[in-house]
Chains A and B, each alone.
Chain A
Amino acid sequence: MHRVRHFSTGMTGLSKNLFVDIKLPTGKSIQQPIGLYINGEWVTSEKMIETICPYTETPITSVYAATEKEVDQAVKAARNAFKAWKKVPGEERAKMLFKLARLTEEHVDELASIEAIDTGKPKDFNAKADVDGTAALMEHCGGWADKIVGSAIPVSHNKFAYTIKEPLGVVGLIVPWNYPLSMAAWKIAPALAAGNCIVIKSAENTPLSLLKYATLIEKAGFPPGVVNIVSGYGAECGNAISSHPNIDKVSFTGSTGVGQVVQQAASNNLKVVTLECGGKSPLIVFEDADLEQAAKWASFGVMYNSGQNCTANSRLYVHEKVYDEFILIYKATILADYPMGDPFDADSRLGPVISKIQFDKVSAYIEKGKQEGATLVLGNESVPSPGYWIAPTVFADCNESMTVVKEEIFGPVVTISKFLSQEEVLEKANNSDYGLAAMVFTKDIARAHQCASELEAGSVYINSSNDEDIRVPFGGYKMSGVGRELGQEGIDIYTQTKSIHVNLGVKM
């Protein structure tokens, strides 16, 4: 439970400062903003959120939290900035995004360090990759900014029509705690490339890296009000965004449950909604699969980031013929490749889960799995202390009636079930309200592509897992989400089409 500090005069320490110094384990100090970034300025509010370091269980600092009032200020700033911003040509937006990409590269170490402290993810193995990915996405979307074209439709010699892909205006972005900076980039980059102004809220668990990033956004030359960054609680701040009558679109990444709340709240002014929600992605290992590679990818797909990954391959289906062999290899791979340890230790591959709440939730699922009769293949390794550590947990001999096979756990926990036929496994794989990703391991090219076409998932990986590329669209079928991010489609969802009809001589 986060402790919320309400400020009054007389309180020492953080009261009116908008920046604090965070000392890294390496000895270096980073200046961390703690205010709200609205209209190009750092401002305070009446509320604060304390952010806890998941591997020490102690507070890092507190940051100012936005209430409805500050959200409204931010929207006003964005709306005002949009008047001029919408006239800025694409190549100018491109230049700023390219500059932001370079600035991101120059500050990798700093940003990765903050991310590691705030999320507990290993700095070298995880956080650094997140920041590199952020830089790459800014550059990629910069390349789109001057290439957003409409169509010219030659209707007849008396009439001509053309379309313009306009920005939506002010977009509200709500991002999660599993990849704080990276998920923010997935939204900020295309929104800016398409010419929108932004109000973005970080997750209450992980406000720091995005606030730090605001300093780079400013340096890159984005005018005040174009990007506004607020920390805040979902119920208050997130809701203020989803239901704001002067926001044109809300894009949300988080749990399916909250996604539904966002979608409903957004209906007040029919703002556009895109959602990236939960998943329970099936990974299928056929009898002709390269088992060592399948084990490597299947480990990566559910242990990376401590399984706190919407596309985690959290349920495996392994063909009967290779079932026992695979499990042995899989267990060994996880033990070898995912040592837990201090995030600032270059050898660490696995951090704690993000919070006490998540720790309790995941632990409860593990208990449930045991109760439901699954075989515990891996799960009792000792964990570091303090910290919200959960040891990699593998359940085998699972079946479709088990909760651990059906529900999203969002931790380093995976189930393995046996299957006999392609038809059977596809049915089981698709028997879910989720549909974010699916993975198929086989050498048979025909089978691979057939399965890919039959799996009800927004991303299908053939012989890999969680192998995203910023150029390839990403998103969910069914209750895993609405809309696609990344690729050209990721840019399109931040535009709206205006059709312009030109009468060249049609008379009534």
Chain B
Amino acid sequence: MRYYASLPLSVKVKLPHGIEYDQPTGLFINNEFVPSISGKTFSVISPSTEEEITHVYEAVSEDVDAAVDAAEKAFKNSGWATADPSQRVSGLLKLADLVEEHAEVLASIESLDNGKSLMNARGDIALSAAYYRSCAGWCDKIDGRNINTGSTHLSYTKREPIGVCGQIIPWNFPQLMLSWKLGPALATGNTVVLKTAESTPLSALYLAKLVKEAGIPAGVVNIISGFGKTAGEAIAIHPRIRKVAFTGSTATGRHIMKRAAESNLKKVTLELGGKSPNIVFNDCNVKNAVQNLIVSIFYNSGEVCCAGSRIYCQSGIYDELLSEFKTAIEAVKIGDPFNEATFQGSQTSQQQLDKILGYIEKGKAEGATLVAGGERFGTKGFFIKPTVFGNVTEDMGVVKEEIFGPVVTITKFETVDEVIEKANDSEYGLAAGVHTEDINKAVDVSNRLHAGTVWVNTYSDFHTSVPFGGFNQSGFGREMGTEALDNYTQVKAVRIKISPKSA
């Protein structure tokens, strides 16, 4: 890793399709980009080419302190929490509009930094703008209740912001995850210190420029690049951060929860891993089911927390479905993210590539049958071919553990009861897919699956108003929907005694 004597706070980056833009490299604190206090930087690699894009400044705990100072001042003094909420409405609406104005650049940065296809990245940006816009509409609607306890008291509740919130986001959907965190936190009047993933710091820094342009006061949003063990840790243990929201692996989530408890019992919400079952019944529409299977595990190169990574296919349709699935896989275009026809880009890093290839070897070793893929694609860039394992048993590592790549297992089943038992036999519980034309079965199976989201005849099909989150060790707390606001507010009950005086 190279060390810059002094990295400029903005560098020109030329995107593969010709657009050149100004990439901020600093830490975004108090609406300004600043170098890290130590001057330390780290390298950012383009995973589809393995080439270095730039360095960015690296935050460690002293930088986190500076960000928290800024966020705390802004919470107390900027008016973000206390002024007329129409200020927040305005800020978030402007941010949504700016994201749409800058959509192509943001999508391009995302593809460059994460390796996902430009088509995917554009979808992410559009969703994130829509989410900022939806959150904007909430700002002036955070009502409590007036509770009738009789004529002696006036009893009401208020939903107040928590204060400085620490947010740690992953590398699989940098912009989208950023919006899921910033949106509700800001709408409810909090201020934030947000750390991006070390693999993918770039698009958030670009968005930081738009935060300032949207008129959001200094210190309300602070975005730092850094590593989990240093900057992430500093957030988890910080005594003046009152809440931490984390999206990432279950193991890291567990660690953050421990640190949060030990330090100052800061509130915790977690969006963690999954090993989501995708159930295909005999009476499904095969063509549609196959399309949904493709999306559920190969979209975003399988780097999706709710990916449908274990397929359960009913025996009556198994052969037909598998055959169609294999055909559809052959049509999946994998390669250069900046090629408009590409569906599947690269994995996000060398580390991820190695981990996934490791699981593929494990699957083979465990005796599973490689039905499709099973190897790296090309020699440059972290690409993996869409991979399917058949003839698996429920106790295999590839069936139980989260692989987080374009690798799926497929298992035959006979009855509804059998598949529900298998589907629920997991410490995870993030999502599930059900493919059937029988709506009663769909609702019944949905009722019985232990998952935070059940998709019927679709998959990875999000909407800004519908909550998303996990059962079991997939996490707790919900993002999007009205439920997201609960993550960032605390209830204050006020009881005023108003008994009549005599005479």
Whether B86 and A139, one on each chain, are in contact in the complex, defined by CB atoms closer than 8 angstroms, is yes
Whether B464 and A146, one on each chain, are in contact in the complex, defined by CB atoms closer than 8 angstroms, is yes
Whether A91 and B133, one on each chain, are in contact in the complex, defined by CB atoms closer than 8 angstroms, is yes
Among residues 100 to 158 in chain B, which have CB atoms less than 8 Å away from a CB atom of chain A? 130, 133-134, 136-141, 143, 151, 154
Among residues 69 to 116 in chain A, which have CB atoms less than 8 Å away from a CB atom of chain B? 90-91, 94-95, 98
CA distance A446 to B495 in the complex (A): 12
Residues of A within 8 A of B440 (CB): 503-505
Q: A149 is contacted by which of B130, B444, B465 (Cβ under 8 Å)? A: B465
Whether A160 and B443, one on each chain, are in contact in the complex, defined by CB atoms closer than 8 angstroms, is yes
- Nearest-CB distance from A463 to chain B (Å)? 15
Whether A504 and B137, one on each chain, are in contact in the complex, defined by CB atoms closer than 8 angstroms, is no
B 323-367 to A, binary, CB cutoff 8 A, 1 in contact else 0: 000000000000000000000000000000000000000000000
Q: A91 is contacted by which of B140, B143, B154, B464 (Cβ under 8 Å)? A: B464
Residues of B within 8 A of A98 (CB): 93, 133
Q: B140 is contacted by which of A95, A160, A471, A505 (Cβ under 8 Å)? A: A471
Among residues 149 to 163 in chain A, which have CB atoms less than 8 Å away from a CB atom of chain B? 149, 157, 160
- Nearest-CB distance from A165 to chain B (Å)? 13
Whether B141 and A449, one on each chain, are in contact in the complex, defined by CB atoms closer than 8 angstroms, is no
- Nearest-CB distance from A154 to chain B (Å)? 8
Decide if B6 is an interface residue (CB 8 Å cutoff).
no
Residues of A within 8 A of B151 (CB): 450, 453
Whether A502 and B443, one on each chain, are in contact in the complex, defined by CB atoms closer than 8 angstroms, is yes
Residues of A within 8 A of B18 (CB): none
Decide if B2 is an interface residue (CB 8 Å cutoff).
no
Q: A446 is contacted by which of B93, B138, B141, B497 (Cβ under 8 Å)? A: B497
Whether B140 and A143, one on each chain, are in contact in the complex, defined by CB atoms closer than 8 angstroms, is yes
CA distance A471 to B499 in the complex (A): 29
Whether B89 and A143, one on each chain, are in contact in the complex, defined by CB atoms closer than 8 angstroms, is yes
Residues of A within 8 A of B229 (CB): none
Decide if B447 is an interface residue (CB 8 Å cutoff).
yes
User: How many residues of chain A are within 8 Å of chain B by beta carbon?
Assistant: 29
Among residues 94 to 145 in chain A, which have CB atoms less than 8 Å away from a CB atom of chain B? 94-95, 98, 136, 139-140, 142-145
> Among the interface residues B139, B140, B151, B499, which one has the most CB atoms of the partner chain A within 10 A?
B140
CA distance A145 to B465 in the complex (A): 11
Report the nearest B residue to A143, measured CB to CB.
B137
User: How many residues of chain B are within 8 Å of chain A by beta carbon?
Assistant: 29
Decide if B17 is an interface residue (CB 8 Å cutoff).
no
A 464-508 to B, binary, CB cutoff 8 A, 1 in contact else 0: 000000010000000000000000100000000000001111000
Whether A446 and B443, one on each chain, are in contact in the complex, defined by CB atoms closer than 8 angstroms, is no
- Nearest-CB distance from B85 to chain A (Å)? 9
CA distance A139 to B141 in the complex (A): 12
B 454-490 to A, binary, CB cutoff 8 A, 1 in contact else 0: 0000000000110000000000000000100000000
- Nearest-CB distance from B417 to chain A (Å)? 14
CA distance A185 to B301 in the complex (A): 48
Whether A450 and B500, one on each chain, are in contact in the complex, defined by CB atoms closer than 8 angstroms, is yes
- Nearest-CB distance from B240 to chain A (Å)? 31
Decide if A321 is an interface residue (CB 8 Å cutoff).
no
Whether B498 and A446, one on each chain, are in contact in the complex, defined by CB atoms closer than 8 angstroms, is yes
Residues of B within 8 A of A443 (CB): none
Among residues 61 to 112 in chain B, which have CB atoms less than 8 Å away from a CB atom of chain A? 86, 89, 93
CA distance A502 to B447 in the complex (A): 14
Report the nearest B residue to A446, measured CB to CB.
B498
CA distance A453 to B443 in the complex (A): 46
Whether B496 and A143, one on each chain, are in contact in the complex, defined by CB atoms closer than 8 angstroms, is no
Decide if A445 is an interface residue (CB 8 Å cutoff).
yes
Decide if A370 is an interface residue (CB 8 Å cutoff).
no
Whether A471 and B500, one on each chain, are in contact in the complex, defined by CB atoms closer than 8 angstroms, is no
Decide if A147 is an interface residue (CB 8 Å cutoff).
yes
Whether A139 and B89, one on each chain, are in contact in the complex, defined by CB atoms closer than 8 angstroms, is yes
- Nearest-CB distance from B485 to chain A (Å)? 11
Residues of B within 8 A of A504 (CB): 440, 443-444
CA distance A502 to B443 in the complex (A): 10
B 160-189 to A, binary, CB cutoff 8 A, 1 in contact else 0: 000000000000000000000000000000
Residues of B within 8 A of A144 (CB): 137, 141
Given known A91-B130, A91-B134, A146-B134, contact A449–B86 (CB-CB < 8 A): no
Residues of A within 8 A of B140 (CB): 140, 143, 471
CA distance A140 to B84 in the complex (A): 13
CA distance A142 to B135 in the complex (A): 11
CA distance A140 to B137 in the complex (A): 7
- Nearest-CB distance from A456 to chain B (Å)? 15
Whether A147 and B465, one on each chain, are in contact in the complex, defined by CB atoms closer than 8 angstroms, is yes
Q: A449 is contacted by which of B130, B139, B498 (Cβ under 8 Å)? A: B498
Residues of A within 8 A of B138 (CB): 143, 147
- Nearest-CB distance from A106 to chain B (Å)? 14
- Nearest-CB distance from B281 to chain A (Å)? 16
B 424-459 to A, binary, CB cutoff 8 A, 1 in contact else 0: 000000000000000110011001000000000000
Whether A488 and B498, one on each chain, are in contact in the complex, defined by CB atoms closer than 8 angstroms, is no
CA distance A471 to B141 in the complex (A): 7
Given known A94-B133, A445-B498, contact A146–B141 (CB-CB < 8 A): no
Given known A91-B130, A449-B154, contact A142–B137 (CB-CB < 8 A): yes
- Nearest-CB distance from B359 to chain A (Å)? 38
CA distance A120 to B134 in the complex (A): 39
- Nearest-CB distance from B211 to chain A (Å)? 19
- Nearest-CB distance from B140 to chain A (Å)? 6
CA distance A149 to B482 in the complex (A): 10
CA distance A59 to B365 in the complex (A): 92
Residues of B within 8 A of A157 (CB): 444, 447
Residues of A within 8 A of B137 (CB): 94, 142-147
- Nearest-CB distance from A12 to chain B (Å)? 48
Residues of B within 8 A of A136 (CB): 86
- Nearest-CB distance from A101 to chain B (Å)? 9
CA distance A253 to B465 in the complex (A): 34
Residues of B within 8 A of A145 (CB): 137
Decide if B501 is an interface residue (CB 8 Å cutoff).
yes
- Nearest-CB distance from A44 to chain B (Å)? 38
Residues of A within 8 A of B465 (CB): 90, 146-147, 149
Among residues 249 to 286 in chain A, which have CB atoms less than 8 Å away from a CB atom of chain B? none
- Nearest-CB distance from B386 to chain A (Å)? 32
Among residues 432 to 450 in chain A, which have CB atoms less than 8 Å away from a CB atom of chain B? 445-447, 449-450
> Among the interface residues B447, B465, B496, B499, which one has the most CB atoms of the partner chain A within 10 A?
B465
Report the nearest A residue to B139, measured CB to CB.
A143
Residues of B within 8 A of A146 (CB): 134, 137, 464-465
Residues of A within 8 A of B86 (CB): 136, 139-140
Residues of B within 8 A of A140 (CB): 86, 89, 140
Whether B443 and A450, one on each chain, are in contact in the complex, defined by CB atoms closer than 8 angstroms, is no
Residues of A within 8 A of B130 (CB): 91
> Among the interface residues B137, B140, B143, B497, which one has the most CB atoms of the partner chain A within 10 A?
B137
Residues of A within 8 A of B89 (CB): 139-140, 143
CA distance A143 to B133 in the complex (A): 8
Report the nearest B residue to A145, measured CB to CB.
B137
Residues of B within 8 A of A447 (CB): 501
Whether A488 and B141, one on each chain, are in contact in the complex, defined by CB atoms closer than 8 angstroms, is yes
Report the nearest B residue to A504, measured CB to CB.
B440
Whether B133 and A446, one on each chain, are in contact in the complex, defined by CB atoms closer than 8 angstroms, is no
CA distance A467 to B143 in the complex (A): 19
Residues of A within 8 A of B139 (CB): 143
CA distance A160 to B440 in the complex (A): 10
CA distance A149 to B140 in the complex (A): 17
Report the nearest B residue to A193, measured CB to CB.
B137
Whether A143 and B498, one on each chain, are in contact in the complex, defined by CB atoms closer than 8 angstroms, is no
15 contacts between A and B (CB under 8 A): A90-B465, A91-B130, A94-B133, A95-B133, A139-B89, A143-B139, A143-B140, A145-B137, A146-B137, A146-B465, A147-B137, A149-B482, A446-B498, A449-B496, A450-B500
5 interchain residue pairs of minimum CB distance? A143-B137, A446-B498, A449-B498, A449-B154, A504-B440
Give 11 new A-B contacts, CB below 8 A, not counting A449-B498, A502-B443. A139-B86, A140-B86, A143-B89, A144-B137, A147-B134, A149-B482, A445-B496, A447-B501, A449-B496, A488-B141, A503-B440
